[in-house]
Structure 1
Amino acid sequence: MAPQVGDRLKVRWPDGSAHKSQVIQTRPSATGAAGALAGAGALAGAGALDFYVHYTGFDRRLDAWVSSDRLVPGTLEAREGGGEGAGEGALPQERTRHKRRHEEAVDPAVVALEKEHEELTKVKNISRVAMGEWEVDTWYYSPYPDEYAGVDRLYVCEFCLKYMRHKKTHVKHTDSCRCRCPPGKEIYREEAKKEGESTIAVFEIDGQEEPVYCQNLCLLAKLFLDHKTLYYDVDPFLFYIITEVDARGSHIVGYYSKEKQSAEGYNLACILTFPQYQRSGYGKFIISLSYEISKRENKAGSPEKPLSDLGKLSYRSYWTNVLFEVFSNLESEISVEQISEMTAIRTEDIISTLQHVDMVREWKGQHVICVDKAKVREYQKKQLQKGRPLRLCKQEHLNWTP
């Protein structure tokens, strides 16, 4: 019997290991009827179908369509009630008591819309993106127009971000496109100092002045961001585009956005380094850029909450690095407020980071910093041993005023 939506079973990864998963959706096999004969170990009756699965305990970015020969026989656990009726069981994450209480407390119409949205967005609608010399697997659903949904490969101009379905259209566009950098004002340029390094340029774009580019950016970014909700209403936002510059132009590396007017004092709303440029230090560069701009505004800033798990790790690492750099040069006592003035990091973020590294105590209602110089030296030693210099925004290259 073929697995149905909501059923659980093990699926083999390309490396041969098997992992628990849940069936989110099914479709006729990409190999047609011949798929029923593929793989002697395939589950009976499953060969004519492909299965979209979520791997239990793993991020949704790994969700994928798999053929029947990757299903592990003897591991099928049909959900109670089975089949399409197990709609809620097909969601990647089980409902918790907290979530149920939340649903009971809000408008049922809103809950219904949220569930409909989850249902529509749980399956990736585009498999890969071709940008410049890169071709990248996507991670999540993005609300591109219907005629672009379901394409195996989406072609995107790396300069103007126009998207296309066909390679020949993309080639023709590339030959005629005159854009060689993002629209907007260049606010940062750091020239490469030696061979192998890249010149970095940053462009500030007003969503109201360049709505099409910013909407295209948001649609592209959603393919790699799970909880992003900004797609078309870009007017209230500024976008900061980080690029690597060569003789052909300024190639987009990543970006961050922020509200022009944030009542909560957030200095960053959304952040992304595209997968082909990850593990190159750009995440910390983008975070540091947001704080350098906050310094110019004479404000302490903070990222929009709640942070994703990956966002928490990135910010915690950045905040720890900044605080330990302050402590390594410290010759007298310093307060949380003084550190905030120096770094533009909000006091609550400083306190939470100090608590994480066990360097703060509460005394008579005040937070008192207890610097452990040995811990600071050990941390900085480990950073040096990683062999990669920290990539941060440098004030002298930032050409920006409020």
Structure 2
Amino acid sequence: MRRESAKPSVPASSVPAVAQAPPASPSAASDDDDDESEEEYSNRNVQAVVLGDEYEFDAWYDCPVLYELVPDFHVGHMIDYLFVCNRCFKHSIAGYTMAAHLIACKGTFETPGQLVYQNNQYSIRMVDGAAYKLFCQCLCIFAKLFLDTKSILFAVDRFEFYVAFHHTAPNVEQAVGFFSKEKISFDEYNLACILVFPPFQHLGIGHLLIDFSYQLSILDGVLGSPERPLSERGRATYLRYWAASIVRAITPLVTSGRQPRAMTPFALSIDDISRATGIRQDDVIDALRSMDALVKLTSTVTPAKDGLDALNAAAQDDGSWAISSPALDRWSASHAQQLAWMMWIDINSIML
């Protein structure tokens, strides 16, 4: 079996659950940039997970429901290995039982849900929690091993699950992560929980899933946002996504080789940026501030004098503001490598 890193680094947030390396508490995030944690996380009841017949990696968090689901497993005990099917996500503590199941499942399993997106490497399927209840419950129990705050394991009926698959060969696919969202969200949240499975992190899959959630909001004609509250690391993940989306939407980065050229000036409003990206106005403002690109205008700081671009920031109630093009240039240059490999969803390719 391939032994993967026991403590992968994953940014995360708080009530959208998003995986991250212990000890920080996850909830809505991605899987791409944070440094690996060297601390062991002791509050868990499973030592390691074996996914399919190829991947073995450490569990991160306790999954109390296993005490009820696994025979002769009691509070205080530790399971050395939990074997999980990489197709249907059913589990067993017996390797021989799972070996037999994998053979049977390979011949009978049909990938659930509706294909809603596909590129040359990945596809995304929408799985209705009510229509495929057992699959989604098993997926949630598996996810609980990596999401400290995940609480919904069985009441999956009101959620849609968007599961990402990596196509390793013709007609061969492997589930690599997912996000869930409520079918009806009165707050218009576009993501409740996200997890990229540990062996498949640092490949940009988390960014792809987050971008897909925003494209769904755009198709629905609303401005989306992840469920609140966000943990510190989850907020950092989304700030990176929002910042990259803003740069991509309003200041296209023209590259010569790997060196970014200067970006053209622009005049726009927060609402313009929000409409172009599908990101809520307050999130746009937070992202611009995180880039040091939102500058308050005063009698001594003016667009003409300081190389700023006019901004009608109606969401600000304490004066006039402007976007600093030099600040956007600096942010883009410092994140050029990340921007180069980020995968983005073409909204016209979504099959809904």
Band the TM-score falls in, shorter-chain normalisation: 0.7 to 0.9
The partner residue of 2:267 within 311, 330, 333 is 333
Alignment-derived partner of residue 47 in structure 2: 127
Aligned-partner Cα distance in 1 for 2:327–2:344: 22
Question: CA separation of 1:276/1:182 partners in 2, compared to 1, >3 Å: closer, same or farther?
Answer: same
Alignment-derived partner of residue 395 in structure 1: 347
SS in 2 for 1:371: strand
Q: What is the RMSD computed on CA atoms of the aligned residues? A: 2.4
Question: CA separation of 1:235/1:246 partners in 2, compared to 1, >3 Å: closer, same or farther?
Answer: same
Which of structures 1 and 2 has the larger relative contact order (alpha carbons within 8 angstroms, sep 6+)? 2
Aligned-partner Cα distance in 2 for 1:292–1:335: 21
**TM-aligned CA deviation for residue 159 of structure 1:** 0.7
Does residue 176 of structure 1 match 2:176? no
The partner residue of 2:334 within 361, 368, 382 is 382
Alignment-derived partner of residue 10 in structure 1: none
Alignment-derived partner of residue 142 in structure 1: 63
Aligned-partner Cα distance in 2 for 1:327–1:254: 30
Aligned-partner Cα distance in 1 for 2:317–2:175: 47
The partner residue of 2:324 within 355, 372, 375 is 372
| Paired residues of 2:265 and 2:325 also in contact (CA < 8 A) | no
Aligned-partner Cα distance in 1 for 2:114–2:182: 17
Alignment-derived partner of residue 42 in structure 1: none
SS in 2 for 1:203: strand
SS in 1 for 2:335: helix
TM-score by length of structure 2 reads 0.73
Alignment-derived partner of residue 355 in structure 1: 289
Gaps of 5+ in 2: 1-21, 26-36, 253-263, 297-312
Alignment-derived partner of residue 253 in structure 1: 176
SS in 2 for 1:127: strand
Question: Which residue identity lines up with residue 334 of structure 1 in the other structure?
Answer: L
Question: Which residue identity lines up with residue 389 of structure 1 in the other structure?
Answer: W
Aligned-partner Cα distance in 2 for 1:394–1:250: 21
SS in 1 for 2:138: helix
**TM-aligned CA deviation for residue 143 of structure 1:** 3.0
Does residue 221 of structure 1 match 2:143? yes
The superposition leaves residues 307-346 of structure 1 with CA deviations (integer Å, 9 ceiling, x where unpaired) of 1233112101000111122331465411111211121111
Alignment-derived partner of residue 189 in structure 2: 266
Give 1 or 2 for the bigger CA radius of gyration: 1
SS in 1 for 2:115: strand
Aligned-partner Cα distance in 2 for 1:374–1:340: 21
Question: CA separation of 1:367/1:214 partners in 2, compared to 1, >3 Å: closer, same or farther?
Answer: farther
| Paired residues of 2:177 and 2:195 also in contact (CA < 8 A) | yes
TM-score by length of structure 1 reads 0.65
Does residue 295 of structure 1 match 2:218? yes
| Paired residues of 1:126 and 1:152 also in contact (CA < 8 A) | yes
Aligned-partner Cα distance in 2 for 1:367–1:277: 46
Percent of aligned positions with the same letter in both sequences? 30
Alignment-derived partner of residue 187 in structure 1: 116
Aligned residues: 280
The superposition leaves residues 40-96 of structure 1 with CA deviations (integer Å, 9 ceiling, x where unpaired) of xxxxxxxxxxxxxxxxx943794445xxxxxxxxxxxxxxxxxxxxxxxxxxxxxxx
Aligned-partner Cα distance in 1 for 2:177–2:160: 14
